[in-house]
Amino acid sequence: MREITYAQAVREALTEGMTHDPNIILIGEDIGLYGGVFKVTEGLLAKFGPERVRETPISEAGFVGAAVGMAMTGKRPVVELMFMDFLWVASDQVFNQAAKMRYMSGGRVKVPMVIRSQQGGGRGNGAQHSQSFETIFTHIPGMKVVLPATPYDAKGLLKTALREDNPVIFIEHKLLYNTRGHVPEEDYAIPFGVADIKREGSDVTLVSLSRTVLFALEAAEEASRDGVSVEVIDLRTTVPLDLEAILKSVRKTGRLVIAHEAHRRLGIGAEIAALVQEQAFDYLDAPIARVGAMDVPIPASKTLEDVVLPGKSHILDAIRAIVS
């Protein structure tokens, strides 16, 4: 099977989706001639023209609001936000309009739109360009929330998102774009709400998502040298959440670590910990461990960023703490 980058996988999904569905329109800042700030949409303007790859002013509230209207009237807009941090400028359009319109209309109005953006740290971009927001989107009913960790998952999940009749928040990570992985050339899609067991194990369940999955796999490999078998589960989506996959693994291992790059306080790890405590408490042999970013703004300094953001060592420490 061929190997391509995460960015190429996303571009392929967009290209194939736009080729088969003329209602899919891309909209965002610098996505045409420049090809997007991370070059994901490079070449799409030449292929599909300015009517379907639409450059916008620097006005997230304006073009996200326009996309909501487009979705309500028959189009399938794919919005690219340069940084996920900028979504707050369009928060009313997303949280109060896109997420609620189908429910408030009794199902008569669909909002089939995808909001694509990247989040997370690791590049020294500072506090306003390095945040992770999946928990906030997960908290608001009415949207699907997707966080692929590999090129294979990125393409397959985006193909599903482009066919979805509800708004989808499709969260990429800025440091995943150059990672490579196997992606088949034939058409495929990955359903939402199906977690992926990236590594099987018997002693500890390690649940993660997005870029942190890569650190989780590294930590699991190192733990194996100490004789600890770690099962790594990649959530892939937080809405819908594949809780059954987590519970099944915990019932087998008796121990749970949840790792994500978002701030630890009230992160998705807190919700998963509560759900497991409610539904699988009798299977736990140790307290649930959560690993996340420190509850401070993400620093621009690389040295400080390495302290604030979780990595392999933080996850490994959590594993060792609950098996000791």
Contact 169, 179 (CB under 8 A): no
What per-residue confidence (pLDDT) applies to 292?
98
Neighbours of 94 (CB within 10 A): 27
What is the mean pLDDT of the segment spanning 249-256?
98
| 139 in active site | no
Measured distance CA(301)–CA(149) in Å, rounded:
25
What per-residue confidence (pLDDT) applies to 243?
98
Measured distance CA(267)–CA(238) in Å, rounded:
11
Domain with CATH 3.40.50.920 in the chain: 196-323
What pLDDT, in 10s, does the model give residues 15-50?
Answer: 999 999 999 999 999 999 999 999 999 999 999 999
Task: Report the CATH number of the 196-323 domain.
Answer: 3.40.50.920
Mean pLDDT of the chain, nearest integer: 97
What pLDDT, in 10s, does the model give residues 293-312?
Answer: 999 999 999 999 999 999 99
Contact 90, 267 (CB under 8 A): no
Measured CA to CA in angstroms, residue 53 lies from 43, 118, 168, 212, 297 at distances of 10, 19, 19, 32, 34
Contact 204, 257 (CB under 8 A): yes
Q: Per-residue pLDDT for 12 more than 90?
A: yes
What per-residue confidence (pLDDT) applies to 295?
96
pTM for this entry: 0.96
- 88 exposure class (CB count in 10 Å sphere: 0-12, 13-18, 19+): middle
Q: To 5 degrees, how large is the angle CA 149–CA 298–CA 274?
A: 60
Residue 166 pLDDT class (50, 70, 90 cuts):
very high
Architecture of domain 3-182: 3-Layer(aba) Sandwich (3.40)
Nearest to 105 by CA among 54, 148, 142, 155: 142
Q: Per-residue pLDDT for 183 more than 90?
A: yes
317 contacts: CB under 8 Å, gap ≥ 6: none
3-state secondary structure 143-202: CEEECCCCHHHHHHHHHHHCCCCCCEEEEEECCCCCCEEECCCCCCCCCCCCCEEEECCC
What per-residue confidence (pLDDT) applies to 184?
96
What per-residue confidence (pLDDT) applies to 1?
83
Q: Per-residue pLDDT for 170 more than 90?
A: yes
What is the mean pLDDT of the segment spanning 172-193?
97
Domain with CATH 3.40.50.970 in the chain: 3-182
- pLDDT above 90 covers a percentage of the chain that reads 99
Q: Per-residue pLDDT for 324 more than 90?
A: no
What pLDDT, in 10s, does the model give residues 223-246?
Answer: 999 999 999 999 999 999 999 999
Q: Six-digit token pair at 265? A: 């306080």
Amino acid identity, position 107: G
**Alpha helices, H only, the chain:** 6-20, 44-48, 60-72, 91, 101-104, 134-139, 151-161, 212-225, 243-253, 268-280, 302-308, 312-323
What pLDDT, in 10s, does the model give residues 197-209?
Answer: 999 999 999 999 9
State the catalytic residue, choosing from 20, 129, 182, 314. 129
- 3-state DSSP assignment of residue 40: coil
Nearest to 155 by CA among 127, 180, 132, 124: 180
